[in-house]
Amino acid sequence: MFLINYLLPISKENPNDAVIKSHQLMIKSGMIHKVGSGVYSWLPIGLRVLHKVIDIIRFEMNNIGCLEVSTPSMQPFELWKKSGRHSDNGDLSAETLVAVDRHGNKLIYSPTAEEVFTELFGDCIKSYKNLPIVLYQISTKFRDEIRPRFGLMRGREFLMKDAYSFDIDQKNSLKNYENILKAYLKIFKQCELSAIPVLAPTGSIGGDYSHEFHIVSDTGESTIYYDSSVINDIENQNISLENLNSYYICEEEKHKYNNKKPINIKGELIETKSIEVGHIFHLGTKYSKSMNVKVQGYNGELFYPSMGCYGIGVSRLICAIIECYNDERGIIWPKKLAPFKVIIININNNCEKCDQVSTKIYYELNNMGFEPLYDNTDDSIGKKFARADLIGIPVQIVISTKNIKEDKIELKFRQKIESIFLEQENIINYIKFVLN
Amino acid sequence: MFLINYLLPISKENPNDAVIKSHQLMIKSGMIHKVGSGVYSWLPIGLRVLHKVIDIIRFEMNNIGCLEVSTPSMQPFELWKKSGRHSDNGDLSAETLVAVDRHGNKLIYSPTAEEVFTELFGDCIKSYKNLPIVLYQISTKFRDEIRPRFGLMRGREFLMKDAYSFDIDQKNSLKNYENILKAYLKIFKQCELSAIPVLAPTGSIGGDYSHEFHIVSDTGESTIYYDSSVINDIENQNISLENLNSYYICEEEKHKYNNKKPINIKGELIETKSIEVGHIFHLGTKYSKSMNVKVQGYNGELFYPSMGCYGIGVSRLICAIIECYNDERGIIWPKKLAPFKVIIININNNCEKCDQVSTKIYYELNNMGFEPLYDNTDDSIGKKFARADLIGIPVQIVISTKNIKEDKIELKFRQKIESIFLEQENIINYIKFVLN
């Protein structure tokens, strides 16, 4: 991409309403644009990151056999009466956004989709032979937060991956729950995050078992307590429900309930602020029963399938990554998530030779799939460097008249202070080496 | 994908409310599932097709330098007051779905997004140097149709690709309009459709120039009249606004206005029913003026950019493809759009040797990226064949005990009546040849 043809509205000023780093940096680096209270547009550079995170999530969900579907954002209120989560008396949660259509029927903007998925399952699946099945979608949700804040960390309209599992019984259902818990840890690891699964209350979604996934961060709104030795098992992807339960990990309420006396600590007890990026629930037969969805068993008998539901806040996940990867100059994207992996900064934009070399390198990298951005603007050298750092491009190739004369090209790395200098003929191979 | 682990709820019966082929076939082949009036979920096999069509659209839009963004579905009513499309007196179109948030603010579910894009542009782009620019998104829209019908052909919630162009003046703006018109014809051609651009009235969106894209189909709700010789230019991608204007092509109203007397017919005058799958508008400065969005010109003066907006009904496009590609047995997917390119039908599911051969072929094709589906169910032979035809898989590999014994494998093609028989060792190469 040539920067001159791109939409990258960076700014120096922090927006008035932005108090946390990710909110500030997403606005300043031109990733998002505010449309209204808690409602944002994704701009091109932000959308590129979003698509990469979506690809990671989709790959890992498909990899364990989950099937992707897409349900509507506006759902008939009738479905919510069926499940009993809401009734005609209007006891809708204050966070639920309701519209009334021209025929006077209420539609709910989906905050989650247990009802639609349970009904979909009931209409489509009739036999135990088709179980287990896990359906998921990656789609827009709306929650009418009373005080939207922190940008997309606590926005009203946001992207969510929600999944729903259906099994013949509780034992199989918990196995599915465990599989998805493991897949979640893989997803977060690929986003270069260490997520800690914390046993959690089930709240309005209900069910009998639940885990939240927390990312350690000073700017988080939650507080968690955990045994430091669990990190080792998470890093090694050696997590079953059983060994997870053997560690002391809990949120604030539970820790108080325990009189702040942790038991069986194998390493150190860590107290930290954290960001919740995912939440999974073992629902059991709560929804299949309330919506009367049954499946035929091996001997012809009808039974209620045992369910689970599983959410990842995709928009918020990106905020959490930025909270973990930034410095005073801007975002520091992990290679896999960077909107562009490499930027070519031509600091002598009027030098024909510089443009020739830059363009040649650009096309070579582009053809190799390295997603280069070419800064061919008339901006000052300082502005070009500051922008490349702000938007967090991992590898920065600096082209200047002076260096070209000496057959040198400067290579800067977002995470390091010192540059290296290479001969022109070696540049492509070196970048291949660095980025693969 | 192994069919036993898949969600493919096919049915024999036509749903009561389905009168056109695409609606019937999308329900019967398990592509979509009805949630409410004019509101559907995409099931796995439908979503696979949807993603392929999205990929085609995204490729062609990026290819002409358009930039993808994503704006929110729920938009502040204030923006619609700014443009003057709606006022406080409540003259919202009856098709506009409105919600009121907990603070009493009106939100509109986006039916199009001129306002949000014009404001986004105004906030981000300040200089003529950054023009031209075309922004687009592929996102969910809602139009509260009084009588939703024909499935996703005239649904309420649907997927749309909408694009907005910004140029320094009318001349450049019309050039952009022409570029996008050409890209649209490429998109439809890749979907194996011949789309006819028809000069159209501009309606509530406004502007000074507009084309609809029509697909010839008996089940269409529109009627168009066109000079048959234009098809040649469309097929050869030899379309400029100038040569398009040289042909007699018009919708019903215009044809009546012309006293049904076409002029300059070079081939034959065709009268046909058609499906509108896209609509482009040259807006001029209508929105930049009403929303007071200006850009700085070459000499420092401020000017209103000239705009265009460009829509493709993505969900409806899929309906149109099915209307064009079906027979009494089901859908006949063009290779590029098929949810699975090849199905392996093991008709002797209890034969170990058959399963071995099927599985071997499955993995070979899968590793080569041919997206096979393996029908390893216990269903009857008749049901298996009928299902493969109904869901429209182009290439069908039939494995049976009898044929395996003779080292033969049967190859059926959805579009042909007669099968061919190959030796097992030749099957993969033959399929490579057929599908590439």
pLDDT tens readout for residues B109-154: 999 999 999 999 999 999 999 999 999 999 999 999 999 999 999 9
Q: Does A116 touch chain B (CB under 8 A)?
A: yes
The closest of A288, A237, A243 to A133, measured between CA atoms, is A288
**So what's the pLDDT on residue B90?**
57
Q: Is A87 helix (H, G, I), strand (E, B) or coil?
A: coil
Considering only the C-alpha atoms of chain B, give the largest distance between any 2 of them, rounded to a whole number of Å: 83
Asked which of A31-35, A156-160, A242-246 is least confident by mean pLDDT, the reply is A242-246
| CB-nearest partner of A75 from B35, B65, B102 | B35
Q: Is the dihedral of CA B91, B95, B96, B101 positive or negative?
A: positive
- pLDDT above 90 for A175: yes
Residue A136 sits at φ, ψ, to 5 deg, of -145, 165
Question: What distance in Å separates residue A102's CA from the closest CA in chain B?
Answer: 7
**So what's the pLDDT on residue A203?**
74
What number of helices (H) and strands (E) belong to chain B? 14, 23
Distance CA A162, CA A184 (A): 12
Mutation to test the A interface, candidates B52, B124, B176, most A Cβ within 10 Å? B124
The closest of B150, B145, B46 to B96, measured between CA atoms, is B145
Q: Is the dihedral of CA A215, A220, A225, A228 positive or negative?
A: positive
Chain A residue numbers with beta carbons less than 8 Å from the beta carbon of B75 are 35-36, 39
| CB-nearest partner of B71 from A41, A70, A119 | A41
Is B102 in Cβ contact with A144 (below 8 Å)? yes
Is A116 in Cβ contact with B35 (below 8 Å)? yes
Is A124 in Cβ contact with B7 (below 8 Å)? yes
Is B146 in Cβ contact with A39 (below 8 Å)? no
For A342-352, what is each residue's pLDDT tens digit? 999 999 989 99
**So what's the pLDDT on residue B91?**
63
Split at pLDDT 50, 70, 90, the class of A90 is low
For B151-209, what is each residue's pLDDT tens digit? 999 999 999 999 999 999 999 999 999 999 999 999 999 999 999 999 988 777 777 78
Q: Does B124 touch chain A (CB under 8 A)?
A: yes
- Looking at residue B341, the DSSP 8-state letter turns out to be S
Distance CA A324, CA B189 (A): 46
Our CA dihedral for B297, B300, B301, B307, rounded to 10 degrees, sits at 20
**So what's the pLDDT on residue B436?**
84
Residues of chain B with pLDDT under 50: none
**So what's the pLDDT on residue A208?**
79
Is B40 in Cβ contact with A47 (below 8 Å)? no
- pLDDT above 80 for A91: no
Angle (CA) A340-A345-A349 rounded to 5° is 135
**So what's the pLDDT on residue B125?**
96
Is A116 in Cβ contact with B44 (below 8 Å)? no
Confidence check on the interface: ipTM exceeds 0.90, yes or no: yes
More confident residue, A89 or A312: A312
Q: Which amino acid is at A106?
A: K
| CB-nearest partner of B35 from A42, A67, A76 | A76
Q: Is the dihedral of CA A37, A39, A45, A51 positive or negative?
A: positive
**So what's the pLDDT on residue B66?**
98
Split at pLDDT 50, 70, 90, the class of A89 is low
**So what's the pLDDT on residue A372?**
97
| CB-nearest partner of B72 from A79, A103, A157 | A157
The closest of A348, A380, A342, A337 to A47, measured between CA atoms, is A337
The closest of B380, B387, B318 to B349, measured between CA atoms, is B380
Angle (CA) B355-B361-B366 rounded to 5° is 120
Chain B residue numbers with beta carbons less than 8 Å from the beta carbon of A123 are 9, 33
Count the Cβ atoms, other than its own, within 10 Å of residue B360. Answer: 14
Distance CA B181, CA B188 (A): 11
Q: Does B218 touch chain A (CB under 8 A)?
A: no
| CB-nearest partner of B124 from A7, A95, A129 | A7
- Looking at residue B132, the DSSP 8-state letter turns out to be S
| CB-nearest partner of B36 from A33, A65, A76 | A76
Distance CA A23, CA A20 (A): 6
Q: Does A147 touch chain B (CB under 8 A)?
A: no
Q: Is the dihedral of CA A210, A213, A219, A224 positive or negative?
A: positive
CA B87 to chain centre: 33
**So what's the pLDDT on residue B49?**
98
- Looking at residue B121, the DSSP 8-state letter turns out to be H
Count the Cβ atoms, other than its own, within 10 Å of residue A397. Answer: 27
**So what's the pLDDT on residue A402?**
95
Is A71 in Cβ contact with B35 (below 8 Å)? yes
- On the question of a cis peptide bond just before residue A132, with omega within 30 degrees of 0, the verdict is yes
| Contact between A318 and A54 (Cβ < 8 Å) | no
Closest residue in A to B9 (Cα) is A124
Distance CA A293, CA A75 (A): 19
Q: Mean pLDDT throughout A410-435? A: 94
Mutation to test the B interface, candidates A107, A135, A176, most B Cβ within 10 Å? A107
| CB-nearest partner of A102 from B44, B94, B125 | B94
Asked which of A117-131, A189-203, B97-111, B329-343 is least confident by mean pLDDT, the reply is A189-203
Q: Does B5 touch chain A (CB under 8 A)?
A: yes
Two tokens at A3? 């920067």
DSSP string, A353-384: HHHHHHHHHHHHHHHTT--EEEE--S--HHHH
Q: Is the dihedral of CA B7, B8, B14, B19 positive or negative?
A: positive
- Looking at residue B14, the DSSP 8-state letter turns out to be P
| Contact between A284 and A306 (Cβ < 8 Å) | yes
| Contact between B320 and B22 (Cβ < 8 Å) | yes
Q: Does B151 touch chain A (CB under 8 A)?
A: no
Two tokens at B297? 């010109």
Distance CA A306, CA A319 (A): 33
Closest residue in A to B126 (Cα) is A9
Q: Mean pLDDT throughout A75-90? A: 82
The closest of A343, A350, A342 to A401, measured between CA atoms, is A350
Q: Is B109 helix (H, G, I), strand (E, B) or coil?
A: strand
pTM strictly above 0.90: yes
Closest residue in A to B5 (Cα) is A130
**So what's the pLDDT on residue A207?**
76
Chain B residue numbers with beta carbons less than 8 Å from the beta carbon of A72 are 35-36, 39-41, 140, 157
The closest of B110, B240, B114, B250 to B174, measured between CA atoms, is B240
Mutation to test the B interface, candidates A124, A125, A133, A167, most B Cβ within 10 Å? A124
Count the Cβ atoms, other than its own, within 10 Å of residue A424. Answer: 15
Mutation to test the A interface, candidates B28, B101, B117, most A Cβ within 10 Å? B101
Q: Does B71 touch chain A (CB under 8 A)?
A: yes
**So what's the pLDDT on residue A86?**
76
Q: Does A123 touch chain B (CB under 8 A)?
A: yes
Distances (CA, A) of B177 to B137, B313, B413: 17, 18, 41
What number of helices (H) and strands (E) belong to chain A? 14, 23
Distance CA B322, CA B341 (A): 16
Q: Does B6 touch chain A (CB under 8 A)?
A: yes
Order of strands, sheet of A408-413, starting from the edge strand that comes earlier in the sequence: A372-375, A342-346, A395-399, A408-413, A420-423
Two tokens at A291? 């919506």
- pLDDT above 80 for A313: yes
| Contact between A279 and A215 (Cβ < 8 Å) | no
3-state secondary structure B188-229: HHHCCCCEEEEECCCHHHCCCEEEEEEEECCCCCEEEEEECC
Q: Does A35 touch chain B (CB under 8 A)?
A: yes
Q: Mean pLDDT throughout A393-414? A: 96
Q: Is B4 helix (H, G, I), strand (E, B) or coil?
A: helix
